[in-house]
Amino acid sequence: PSAPTAPAAPAVAIDTSDLSPAVRRLVEEHNLNPANIPATGVGGRLTKADVLAAISRPQAAPAAAVTAPAVAPALPRVTPRAVDAAREERVRMSKLRQVIASRLKSAQNTAAMLTTFNEVDMSALMKLRADYKDAFEATHEVRLGFMGVFVQAVIQALREFPAVNAEIDGTDIIYKNYYNIGVAVGTPQGLVVPVIKDAGEMSLVETERAISDFGLRARDGKITPDEMAGGTFTISNGGVYGSMMSTPILNPPQSGILGMHKIEKRAVVIDDQIVIRPMMYLALSYDHRIIDGREAVSFLARVKEMVEDPRRLLVGV
């Protein structure tokens, strides 16, 4: 029968001189290597029963094949045509780019990542900024942007949905009763995420100062590794590059990341009337192992609620 021949070894010269005639015949018929068969006979000799037992185990070889690719091998690069190769340039990845690539792939391999979306009417926040940006800058010597308000809104929502600020450690969930908010900043060298430590203890002015400082130093490559460590939640803003919608990737071991996007005027229905409003899509990517869909959707709705009515941040409701 064909099945017993599955564990056959490649045809190589094998010494069978010390085997009994019956055992030798079985080994040669099935192209087995005696050295790979456990021997139970007197003095460690291979018996007929040992060989028959090996023949009856056709699953042994496939099992090794299944467990071998625990880590997916890199796909081989197709050799380009000579005319194409002459127009290519091979550049070694920077250490920062290697770290970014490794962490992003680690997030996808580890977390059960899912993304939920919502949209926010930016009218109230844009009016607030337009009304007070000059006075704000004159008084505090820092610009009033949108990110500071989003950081404050996120912190309030994290207080209400602590799982979004938590992380998994083995079989434990670690709830963070502090709020270290990472703010993704694009630089010519790659994306960096400096962390505003204890942002929950900061005012809007202090938050804007921290964001401004990180933004300037990040572009000059002056952010230290310690300033990028210890985050509990991250905010990214693809809107500054014109992104309408995206699914941000988690920054492990964090369990949530908020993606902001481009503000664009769109027709929406308010009180049964079609009106034009400046709208922004929001995306929350989260680790479904620790955050349920209800929590994720409610968290994002809470952020939306506070951004659409920034007065809520002043009175804490």
Task: Specify the CATH number for the domain of residue 52.
Answer: 4.10.320.10
- The answer to whether residues 158 and 263 belong to one domain is yes
Specify the CATH number for the domain of residue 251. Answer: 3.30.559.10
DSSP three-state, residue 169:
strand
303, 161: one domain: yes
The answer as to whether 6 is a domain residue is: no
Judge whether 89 lies within some domain.
no
- Please say if 292 is a catalytic residue: yes
Kindly state whether residue 193 falls inside one of the protein's structural domains.
yes
Same domain, 206 and 279: yes
Comparing 49 with 157, which gets the higher pLDDT?
157
Domain that residue 151 falls in: 113-315
Does residue 311 lie in a domain region? yes
How far is C-alpha 218 from the geometric centre of its chain's CA atoms? 22
Whether residue 121 contacts residue 279, with contact meaning beta carbons closer than 8 Å, is answered with yes
Last residue of some domain: 71, 101, 136?
A: 71
| Domain annotation covers residue 301 | yes
Report the distance separating Cα 245 and Cα 283, nearest Å.
8
Kindly name the residue from 18, 134, 198, 292 that is annotated as catalytic: 292
Alpha carbon distance 282, 284 (integer Å): 7
Residue 97 belongs to a domain: no
In terms of residues, how long is the chain?
Answer: 317
Q: What is the pLDDT of residues 132-163, one digit of tens each?
A: 999 999 999 999 999 999 999 999 999 999 99
Select which of 18, 131, 198, 288 is catalytic.
288
- What's the rounded mean pLDDT across residues 68-78? 59
Instruction: Report which of 105, 257, 280 is spatially closest to residue 181, judged by C-alpha positions.
Output: 257
Per-residue confidence band for 70, with pLDDT thresholds at 50, 70 and 90: low
In a shared domain, residues 175 and 295: yes
> What distance in Å separates the CA atoms of residue 300 and residue 290, rounded to the nearest whole number?
16
One domain, residues 139 and 284? yes
- 215 Cα distance to chain centroid: 23
Domain match, 42 and 152 both: no
Residues 59 and 123 in one domain: no
Same domain, 201 and 269: yes
Query: Any catalytic annotation for residue 261?
Result: no
Is 82 within the bounds of a domain? no
55 and 196: one domain? no
- Render pLDDT for 79-114 as a digit per residue (tens, 0 to 9): 777 777 778 888 888 877 787 788 777 777 778 999
Last residue of a domain, one of 6, 39, 71: 71
Residue-wise pLDDT for 223-251, tens only, equals: 898 999 999 999 999 998 899 999 999 99
Question: Is the same domain home to 127 and 235?
Answer: yes
Rounded to whole angstroms, how far apart are CA atoms 273 and 267? Answer: 10
Q: Residue 9: what pLDDT? A: 45
Q: Are 117 and 248 members of one domain? A: yes
Is 30 among the domain residues?
A: yes
Residues 191 and 57 in one domain: no
